[in-house]
Amino acid sequence: MMHKVITIIGARPQIIKAAALSRVIQSYYSKKINEIIVHTGQHYDENMSQIFFEELSIPPPLYNLNVGSNTHGKQTSLMIEKIEDVIIKEKPDALIVYGDTNSTLAGAIAASKLLIPVFHIEAGLRSYNKTMPEEINRIVADHTSTLLFCPTHQAIKNLEKEGFKLHNRFCDINHPKIILSGDVMYDNALYFSKKAAQKSKFLQQLQMTNHPFVLCTIHRNNNTDVTERLNNIFTALSEISNEIKIVLPIHPRTKKILATQLLPSTYKKLQNNKNILITEPVSFMDIIQLEKNCNMLITDSGGIQKEAYFFKKPCIVLRPETEWIELLDTGTTILADANPKKILSAYQKLKNTSIDNFLPFYGDGNAAKKIAEEIVLFFTDNKKIPS
Ligand code: UD1
């Protein structure tokens, strides 16, 4: 029997994450799962969205809700309204959400209120910092879900702390099931690693083949929107660029803000700095190729911290905390916040470091298969025992 699931995507990392499960559904479960992709339109620039569909062979979304940018409340409420319409029309058996963005939150609220089971992929992550919009989104998505797919053991521990119980019985929104699936991003890193080497020409375009460099990304709102933090980060990057080139594919929100938020002197220095190469946002093949070939990463992204580890590169995290705390124990990921002294000392400490002892925190590259199996099991064998 065919079961219909709606997959909600909206922001760049969700499009990438969804590729792993869509691939498995198309290859092994096309007779059991009918996946309908709904794009909220949270990310809408060509190089933040469309490019990934083409590159990662994801089926095109059946619906694009075109919500675009707005304040968090307006953006989220518009999504809830439009997702609700799609659910009412399509009558799915379940709805899948990924990660922690406003699109995740909207999908989880719209579906759970219509009593449609929510499956949350990347469940259980916590930064324990509720001033991050993502933390609120995670908590709500987890607490409205029926299947919670956890990428790590730590994610399961976090859910247990919030009262979730591990069980293997009948599950519904009141008795959610927690599953250790591994991380779909690790599946993707393994799957696309070779392809990226063949397809990406980005290093050649930058004339950086065989050159040492640091890969940097910055997009979190508490870095881009807080002048002091943004200036501190760029002061540290400018110091580091005296030693090594920095490649910085820039997120649209960071690009918009640089000229206005940086001190005029810092901005001028940045414009004249030939060792900091600021580029447009890059495709997934290009970012993988950059990650594989760089010496180190400096980032405030969650996904890129892990990709650094997947490709055995040290990483400086421009945040006060991380959801991926297992990385900190390795000593090759360092939290430096937006503190120039900490960023510079982390750079000095990590610049000659390599990761020799790779531990399988994120599974074995088969997370999406495990998720698809559990979804089919939910549809075929989730019987309530009469009480
Ligand atoms: C969102 C997620 C964040 C995720 C990130 C990945 C939330 C709360 N945040 O942050 O968790 O790590 O995506 O990129 O959902 N913009 C464009 N073009 C686009 C998209 C955005 O110009 O295609 C600009 C707009 O000015 C917009 C701003 O970037 O206001 C921020 O976009 P938004 O979707 O609100 O959040 P992100 O910062 O991308």
225 pairs with which residues across the strands?
none
Residue 43's pLDDT band (cuts 50, 70, 90): very high
In sequence order, the β-bridge partners of residue 38 are 8, 63
Does one domain contain both 175 and 205?
no
- Told to judge if 219 belongs to the known catalytic residues of this protein, a careful annotator would answer yes
End-to-end Cα, the chain, rounded Å: 28
- The rounded percent of the chain whose pLDDT value lies above 90 is 96
| Tokens found for residue 369 | 């298969």
Q: Are residues 165 and 53 in the same domain?
A: yes
- Read off the tokens for 31: 């007779």
Residue 2 CA: distances (Å) to CA of 67, 225, 341, 375: 30, 46, 57, 12
Tokens of 62: 């059946």
d(CA 352, CA 317): 17
Q: Give the DSSP H/E element, type plus range, for residue 233.
A: helix 227-240
**Residue with more model confidence, 107 or 356:** 107
Considering the domain architecture, whether residues 205 and 273 belong to the same structural domain is answered as yes
Whether residue 218 sits in one domain with residue 113: no
pLDDT (tens digit per residue) in 81-136: 999 999 999 999 999 999 999 999 999 999 999 999 999 999 999 999 999 999 99
- CA 130, 76, 110, 183 torsion: positive or negative? negative
Ligand 1: lining residues by beta carbon, under 6 Å: 11-13, 42-45, 48, 69, 100-102, 133-134, 219, 251-253, 256
Owning domain of residue 335: 194-350
User: Residue 142: its pLDDT value, please?
Assistant: 98
d(CA 362, CA 180): 10
β-sheet with 315-317: strand ranges across: 276-279, 245-249, 213-217, 296-299, 315-317, 333-335
For residue 101, the ligand 1 atom closest to its alpha carbon is 15
Look at ligand 1, atom 28, and give the residue with the nearest C-alpha. Answer: 253
Residue 324 and residue 201 share a domain: yes
Q: How far apart are CA 346 and CA 335, in angstroms?
A: 8
Collapse the DSSP code of 140 into the 3-class scheme (helix H, G, I; strand E, B; otherwise coil) and give the result.
Answer: helix
What does the mean pLDDT of the chain come to?
96
Q: Say if 223 falls within a structural domain.
A: yes
pLDDT(379) > 90 = yes
Q: For 161-219, give the DSSP string.
A: HTT-----S---TTS-EEEE---HHHHHHHHHHHHHHHH--HHHHTT-TT--EEEEE--
| Within a domain: 189 | no
The tens digit of pLDDT for each residue in 295-309 reads 999 999 999 999 999
Q: Say yes or no: 114 and 236 in one domain.
A: no
The number of residues making up the chain comes to 387
- As a whole number of angstroms, the distance between CA 198 and CA 380 comes to 41
Give the atom of ligand 1 at the shortest distance from the alpha carbon of 49: 23
> Of 39, 120, 143, 219, which one is the catalytic site residue?
219
Whether 173 and 256 share a structural domain: no
Q: What pLDDT is stored for residue 383 in this prediction? A: 84
Closest residue CA from atom 4 of ligand 1 = 101
CATH number at residue 70: 3.40.50.2000
145-163 pLDDT per residue, tens? 999 999 999 999 999 999 9
d(CA 200, CA 187): 19
**Quick one: 209 and 148 in the same domain?**
no
- Report the pLDDT averaged over residues 61-88: 98
Backbone φ and ψ for 52, nearest 5 degrees, come out as: -75, -35
Are 337 and 272 members of one domain?
yes
CA distances from 144 to 3, 242, 270, 374 (A): 21, 49, 45, 18
Element (H or E) spanning 95, and its range?
A: strand 94-98
Residue among 14, 66, 69 whose CB has most ligand 1 atoms within 8 A, to mutate: 69
Q: Are 291 and 332 in contact (CB under 8 A)?
A: no
User: For the segment 2-17, what is each residue's pLDDT rounded down to a tens digit?
Assistant: 999 999 999 999 999 9
pLDDT at 368 (0 to 100) = 98
pLDDT tier, 229 (very low <50, low <70, confident <90, very high otherwise):
very high
Alpha carbon nearest to ligand 1 atom 9, residue:
101
Q: What span, in angstroms and rounded, lies between the C-alpha atoms of 162 and 349?
A: 36
Number of domains into which the chain is organized: 2
Write down the pLDDT at residue 386. 63
Please check whether residue 188 lies inside any domain of the structure: no
Of 15, 42, 46, 104, best ligand 1 pocket probe by most atoms within 8 Å of the beta carbon: 42
- Residue-wise over 230-254: b if at least 16 C-beta within 10 A, else e? bbbbbbbbbebbeebbbbbbbbbeb
In this structure, are 166 and 269 located in the same domain?
A: no
Ranges of beta strands (E only) in 259-384 are: 276-279, 296-299, 315-317, 333-335
Same domain, 206 and 166: no
- Give nearest CA residue, ligand 1 atom 22: 252
pLDDT tens for each residue of 249-301:
999 999 999 989 999 999 999 999 999 999 999 999 999 999 999 999 999 99
pLDDT of residue 387: 59
- Same domain? For 146 and 205 the reply is no
Give the C-alpha distances (Å, rounded to integers) separating 171 from 112, 121, 146, 371, 384: 14, 16, 7, 15, 8
Q: Are 29 and 66 in contact (CB under 8 A)?
A: no
Q: For residue 357, tell me if it sits in a domain.
A: no
What is 335-368 written as a DSSP string?
E-TT-HHHHHHHHHHHTT----S---TT-SS-HH
